[in-house]
């Protein structure tokens, strides 16, 4: 039987939790302060903890980190007095799986705990798979060996068992969709569907019908009942691609569906319950868009509880040889050619490019080279003309050792991103270390 510990210095609030969860088949333990909570936790190891952030003897965040230290798998829901997205976001980064605001709504608490029970049961199975998933230099189909990518794999593994919503950010072609798939495949919903909704391709009028479905006859052309993408993703993950392209009016409808896990098809009066994990992706500067009202803050705060940055290829050239090998093998199989790899000089020519189109651009270049190749190894003359030596003097004059030919702006941007990466996306900490304001940091990151 799963057990749950509720920690709160207010006995009435503990009673409320006990009553609300009484019939869910859980063993419920309670603690009135941090010291009691530590004893109860150490003795009974509950799988789920509901933790008030404000305790008399110890900060809830400290207790959270102690609990996760002892048992990283624990699902911890935080209770916060006021709506404080910043501290909640921080807590989620520290490993809490969600937060609820006080006064507690019994329905929301029950729904959340029910999901956690389900997840805890499935986690056992996911854990068994995990060992098989992490081969060398590769995680769930993503190739990578740089510290940034290893950190990204670790982050995905850490949040995948718990997340309900996540936001994947990064420049074009960096692998955002792949990261979203990795999140899904490592989550308890891995056996459910992974449904892609492209927010930039959906017109405003058709958006609701696409997302939430419609009833026959609800508008001209609605000749049949139609299931929306939310329903199609039930029990799995909905990938909202290019979310930054969605108009604000649609954003609020989306937020409601995400938060309430409930949809209303166009032309229907009844709502339907769904259970959908949502991963959104964008390369747009959401912070700047929020300032102009083009992106809704409430949606951003909901999604950014788990925020994953996929770094540009130029910032992680350690991955380059592994990606080259991966793509050569992939295209060799696609084209049915016997290709063993790429010659070092061809690879060196490719490595001089700065890859603004990131991994997708590299994939395309290698795809074309593999098509041209007739030897066992892809060589210089197989590369697209742009990369060959005669393409221009800039490509053959090597810079002095340890110097990369890049602008100060790009250098600043890379450094700012590296520092941000180090703090796992915590912008306040990164800004402090860089000695700049948060808004300067956004500008440095190219998001301002
Ligand atoms: N780490 C990686 N390992 C192997 N393949 C990768 C990796 N990253 C990206 N790719 C490949 O590069 C291509 C682009 O990746 P993906 O579509 O995930 O990028 P994206 O960030 O969603 O791009 P866009 O912003 O243009 O939508 C895909 O074919 C993907 O399989
Ligand atoms: Mg994409």
Q: Is residue 288 part of a domain?
A: yes
Same domain, 192 and 301: yes
Residue 131 lies in a domain: no
Query: Which residue's CA is the closest to the ligand 1 atom numbered 13?
Result: 360
Q: Could you tell me the CATH number of the domain that includes residue 435?
A: 1.10.10
Domain range enclosing 318: 314-396
CA 399 to mean position of chain CA atoms? 37
Indicate whether 155 belongs to any domain.
yes
Residue 132 lies in a domain: no
User: What average pLDDT does the chain have?
Assistant: 87
For residues 75 and 180, state if they share a domain: no
- Mark whether 413 and 343 lie in a shared domain: no
307 and 181 together in one domain: yes
The domain boundary residue, chosen from 295, 311, 327: 311
pLDDT 10s digits, 177-202: 999 999 999 999 999 999 999 998 77
Task: Give the pLDDT confidence score for residue 298 in this predicted structure.
Answer: 93
Domain identity same for 121 and 28: yes
Domain boundary among 251, 280, 311: 311
Beta bridge pairs of residue 101: 80
Do 282 and 144 fall into the same domain? yes
Q: Is 138 in the pocket of ligand 1 (CB under 6 A)?
A: no
Q: Which atom, in ligand 1's list, is nearest to the CA of 144?
A: 1
Structural domain includes residue 133: no
Domain count, the chain: 4
Residue of 156, 168, 169, 175 with the most ligand 1 atoms within 8 Å of its CB, for mutation: 175
137 Cβ below 6 A of ligand 1: no
Give the Cα separation of 245 and 252 in Å (integer): 14
Same domain, yes or no, for 216 and 285? yes
Higher pLDDT, 308 or 404: 308
For 56-97, write each residue's pLDDT tens digit.
999 888 999 899 888 877 889 988 776 566 666 677 777 788
Asked whether residue 14 falls in the same domain as residue 111, the answer is yes
pLDDT at 154: 87
In short, whether 34's Cβ falls inside 6 Å of ligand 1 is: no
Whether the CB of 178 sits within 6 Å of ligand 1: yes
CATH number at residue 250: 3.40.50.300
Query: Does residue 166 sit in the same domain as residue 221?
Result: yes
Residue with more model confidence, 7 or 122: 7
Domain endpoint, select from 102, 126, 150: 126
Same domain, 186 and 104: no
For residue 313, the model assigns a pLDDT of 96
Tell whether ligand 1 has an atom less than 6 A from the beta carbon of residue 285. Answer: no
Q: Is the pLDDT of residue 218 over 90?
A: no
Same domain, 102 and 159: no
Decide if pLDDT at 411 tops 60.
yes
Residue with the smallest CA separation from ligand 1 atom 15 is: 175
Q: Residues 265, 214: contact at Cβ < 8 Å?
A: yes
**Ligand 1 near 244 CB (within 6 A):** no
Q: What is the pLDDT of residues 97-149, one digit of tens each?
A: 888 888 888 898 999 899 888 877 776 555 554 444 445 688 899 999 888 89
CATH of the domain at 67: 3.40.50.2300
Q: What is the pLDDT of residue 394?
A: 47
pLDDT at position 395 over 80: no
Query: Is residue 223 a part of any domain in this protein?
Result: yes
C-alpha distances in angstroms, 424 versus 71, 169, 417, 421?
21, 13, 10, 5
* Centroid of ligand 2 to alpha carbon of 157 (angstroms): 21
Confidence at 206, pLDDT banded by 50, 70, 90: confident
Mean pLDDT, range 257-265, rounded to an integer = 93
Q: List pLDDT tens digits, range 232-250.
A: 999 999 999 999 999 888 9
Looking at the CA of residue 178, tell me the nearest atom of ligand 1: 18
- Domain match, 368 and 440 both: no
Decide if 224 is inside a domain: yes
Stretch 392-412: mean pLDDT: 64
pLDDT of residue 87: 66
Does the pLDDT value for residue 369 go beyond 80? yes
pLDDT in tens, 275-331: 999 999 999 999 999 999 999 999 999 998 899 999 999 999 989 989 999 999 999
57 in Cβ contact with 66 (< 8 Å):
no
Confidence of residue 271 (pLDDT cuts 50, 70, 90): very high
174 CB within 6 A, ligand 1:
yes
Q: Is the pLDDT of residue 153 over 60?
A: yes
CATH number for the domain that contains residue 319: 1.10.8.60
Quote the pLDDT of residue 396. 47
Cα–Cα–Cα angle for 409, 93, 322, nearest 5°? 55
Ligand 1: does its nearest atom lie under 6 Å from the Cβ of 177? Answer: yes
232 Rama sector, left if φ>0, alpha if ψ -120 to 50, beta otherwise: alpha
Task: Report residue 145 CA to chain centroid gap.
Answer: 19
CA of 367 to the centre of ligand 1 (A): 14
- Contact yes or no for 199/248 (Cβ under 8 A): no
């Amino acid at each position: 039987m799963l057990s749950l510990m509720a920690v709160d210095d207010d006995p009435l609030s503990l009673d409320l939790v006990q009553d609300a969860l009484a019939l869910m088949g859980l063993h419920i333990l309670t603690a009135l302060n941090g010291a009691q909570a530590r004893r109860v936790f150490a003795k009974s190891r509950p799988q789920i903890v509901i933790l008030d952030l404000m305790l008399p003897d110890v900060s809830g965040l400290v207790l959270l980190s102690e609990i996760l230290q002892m048992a990283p798998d624990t699902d911890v829901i935080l209770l916060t007095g006021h709506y404080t997205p910043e501290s909640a976001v921080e807590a989620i980064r520290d490993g809490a799986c969600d937060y609820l605001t006080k006064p507690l709504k019994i329905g929301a608490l029950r729904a959340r705990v029910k999901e956690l029970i389900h997840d805890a049961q499935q986690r056992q199975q996911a854990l068994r798979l995990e060992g098989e998933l992490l081969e060398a230099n590769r995680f769930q189909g993503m190739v990578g060996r740089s510290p940034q990518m290893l950190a990204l794999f670790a982050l995905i593994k850490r949040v995948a068992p718990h997340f309900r919503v996540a936001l994947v950010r990064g420049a074009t072609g960096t692998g955002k969709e792949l990261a979203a798939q990795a999140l899904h495949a490592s989550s308890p919903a891995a056996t459910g569907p992974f449904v892609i909704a492209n927010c930039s391709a959906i017109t405003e009028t058709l958006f609701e019908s696409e997302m939430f479905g419609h009833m026959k006859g609800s508008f001209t052309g609605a000749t049949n009942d139609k299931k929306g993408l939310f329903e199609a993703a039930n029990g799995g993950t909905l990938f909202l691609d290019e979310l930054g392209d969605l108009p604000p009016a649609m954003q609020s409808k989306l937020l409601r569906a995400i938060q309430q896990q409930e949809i209303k098809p166009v032309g229907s009066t009844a709502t339907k319950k769904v259970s959908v994990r949502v991963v959104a992706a964008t390369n747009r500067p959401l912070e700047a868009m929020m300032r102009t009202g083009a992106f809704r803050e409430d949606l951003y705060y909901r999604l950014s509880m788990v925020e994953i940055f996929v770094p540009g290829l130029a910032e992680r050239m350690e991955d380059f040889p592994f990606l080259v090998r991966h793509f050569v093998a992939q295209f060799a199989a696609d084209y049915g050619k016997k290709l063993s790899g790429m010659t070092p000089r061809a690879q060196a020519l490719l490595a001089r490019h700065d890859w603004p189109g990131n991994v997708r651009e590299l994939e395309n270049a290698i795809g074309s080279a593999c098509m041209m190749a007739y030897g066992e190894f892809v060589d210089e003359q197989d590369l697209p003309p742009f990369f060959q030596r005669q393409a221009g003097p800039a490509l053959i004059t090597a810079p002095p050792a340890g110097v990369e030919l890049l602008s100060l702006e790009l250098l600043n941007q890379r450094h700012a991103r590296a520092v941000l990466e180090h703090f796992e996306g915590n912008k306040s900490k990164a800004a402090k270390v860089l000695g700049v304001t948060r808004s300067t940091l956004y500008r440095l990151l190219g998001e301002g």
